[in-house]
Chain A
Amino acid sequence: MSTMSSEVVKSSRQDHTAVKSSLWTQSMRKLRKNKLAMSGLIFVILMFLACFVGPLFSPYTDGKINVTAMNKAPSLKHWLGTDMLGRDVMTRLLQAGRISLTVGLASMLLSVFIGSILGAIAGYYRGIVDQVIMRIADLLLTIPGLPILFILGALLSEWKVPVDSRMYIVMLMLSFVGWPGLARLVRGQMLSLREREFMQAAVVLGLRDRRKLFNHLLPNLFPLLIVVATLSIGGAILSESVLSYFGLGVTPPTATWGNMIDSANNVIDFEKHPWLWIPPGFAIFSTVIAINIFGDGLRDVLDPKHKK
């Protein structure tokens, strides 16, 4: 077979032991070069570590009231001061971060799970299934998210839901509002993927539905999912903070960044005790910004067609 000459020769000259590079490893290499995105990621990781590990090293326990040390300004003893019940603001801030980050992460996971499964089903099977799922999604999308959350939050207070379980219900509420947008996105992607030529090849090869879905479609869906999921953590954290700020999300004594700001929501605290509201505000702001910067970096890497 003399005709297969040049290409074979050329490729055999290549290094056989070269690192096998999938699109994934390529993308991750590119991501590591993006300093802004990496600093966002590092900040988020540090924030997680601080919130989940930090309180273990604190001499103060969350919720411990100390009448002798009320509204103390930041000092070496209390790095971020104390609140009107003499609780250490630093410890509370990190404890609150646990809740806020957990709610953000969990509601993102849940809404990505629901949204991608429903969207994938709608996009892959089309027809009546598609119609039903997408009309429900459209219905939820037509109503602005925050008002629904407010109503649901008010119902929680009305029904006197125990404080401990409110956190989990808030997660459910946030993913309930979050999935329709995601389902739309995934469905759209699915519709375009299933018309691609390699899917026609899969049909001609007579592959099983399961393999088409899990080996061909899902791997092409992952980049989009990862980007959207990352960006939606920030959104979920914000929504939870808003809800808690209005006393409709997670309520005291459980601390979240939102309800910490809410408890400083009066003129005296605002003017005289800025250490009560600046730290949680900064925590929300910086975490959400860091997540979004990282998410944007991920998108640049994983979605080459997207231009800034």
Chain B
Amino acid sequence: MSEPLVEVNHLKKYFPINSGLLNRTVGHVKAVDDISFSIQPGETFGLVGESGSGKSTVGRTILRLHDKTAGEVKFKGIDVHELSGKELRQIRPQMQLIFQDPYSSLNPRVRVGDAIGEALLDHGMLQKGEIRDRVEEVLASCGLSSYHYDRFPHEFSGGQRQRIGIARALVLNPDLIIADEPVSALDVSIQAQIINLFRHQQETRGLTYLFISHDLSVVEHLCSRIGVMYLGSMMETASRDELFRNPLHPYTKALLSAVPIPIPKLKRDRIVLKGDIPSPANPPTGCKFHTRCPFATAMCKEQVPEFRHVGHEHYVACHLV
């Protein structure tokens, strides 16, 4: 296998909980707790899991929007968290983020063209006179028109705004795009358009995606490899086909059984998980999933399962597999 574009090794991100008069740290929210995975150039790695499982934190820690607690994040072999401020700024254009909320991720007082083009200017990639042409080219490739250049974000619909967000990332010609639930704020018909835009851009530009989502049908459509997260830990990673054909972890099975299917009469075995996701400030001992796992044994409560290789590039963290 070739050199991975992104390598995440034993990454941990704990957020301190401060309280009391002296604002002392009384505990930690273990948002990301010892996660490892790698993304090959040109592939789309999907990260799925329910709300609060730490998917977004992984994405943001890779981009160093958060500082890590432990572990390492390597982008093209460079440890992102070891870079100085200046070096980091130079490497930023190569890895971009697309936000979940197309409304708050655009500054209401900056014209669309400026929002897309300003980074080019700041990184000295183009001269002032050349920016407009480049931005209009990217706008067109994202399904927007050149006259949108002088408009303000509030003049656009949610889907159009998300296109603007995508254009803002693409204009820098990045190698990696981290998409943090980019379609979950959009309605279904627009979702399809945006997902096809993602796919089209990948085909034409050879992009690598880290696609964060809680929607398995979206992930199935777009991703080549999928990681399943639960409460800050990776439960299972496998290629898309392998994961959907042969899910091994009970959590993955439960997630897959919850995907709606368009045949109402078809009977199938639903695995319904009871209760809510436990607090990441005080995660269960042993396997984090044992409190909700229908197959949990005594061993699951005590021993943390190892994240092991079970063949076909399929990794799983479960004692029962």
Residues on A lying within 8 angstroms of B by beta carbon are: 1, 3-8, 11-12, 16, 20-23, 196-198, 200-201, 203-208, 211, 215-216, 219-220
Contact = CB atoms under 8 A, between A and B. Distances in A.
Nearest to A221: B109
Contacts of B165: 201
Contact of B147 (A16, A197, A203, A215): A16
Contacts of A201: 97, 99, 105-106, 165, 168
A-side binding surface: helix, strand, loop or mixed? helix
B52 interface: no
Max chain B Cβ within 10 angstroms of own Cβ: one of A3, A4, A8, A203: A4
Interface of B: 63, 65, 88-90, 92-93, 95-97, 99, 101, 104-111, 114, 118-119, 122-123, 143-145, 147-148, 150-152, 154-155, 157, 159-160, 163, 165, 168, 172, 189-190, 192-193, 196-197, 200
For the complex of A and B, the 8 pairs showing the least CB-CB separation, nearest first, are A206-B92, A4-B143, A219-B109, A205-B119, A3-B196, A198-B107, A197-B104, A197-B105
A216 B122 contact: no
B122 A7 contact: no
Max chain A Cβ within 10 angstroms of own Cβ: one of B107, B119, B157, B189: B107
Contacts of A204: 63, 65, 92, 95-97
A207 B97 CA distance: 14
Contact of A211 (B118, B144, B189, B196): B118
Contacts of A8: 143-145
A211 B92 contact: no
A198 B154 contact: no
Given A11-B145, A23-B109, A198-B104, A4 B123 contact: no
Nearest to B121: A211
Contact of B160 (A3, A7, A23, A207): A7
Contact of B110 (A196, A200, A215): A215
Contacts of A216: 107, 109-110
A173 B312 CA distance: 77
A3 B155 contact: no
Contacts of A1: 143, 200
A12 B160 CA distance: 13
Given A23-B152, A201-B99, A216-B107, A206 B89 contact: yes
B93 A206 contact: yes
A298 B114 CA distance: 27
8 contacts: A7-B193, A12-B145, A16-B147, A198-B104, A205-B96, A205-B118, A206-B92, A206-B123
Nearest to A202: B107
A182 to B, nearest CB: 21
Nearest to A10: B157
A205 B92 CA distance: 6
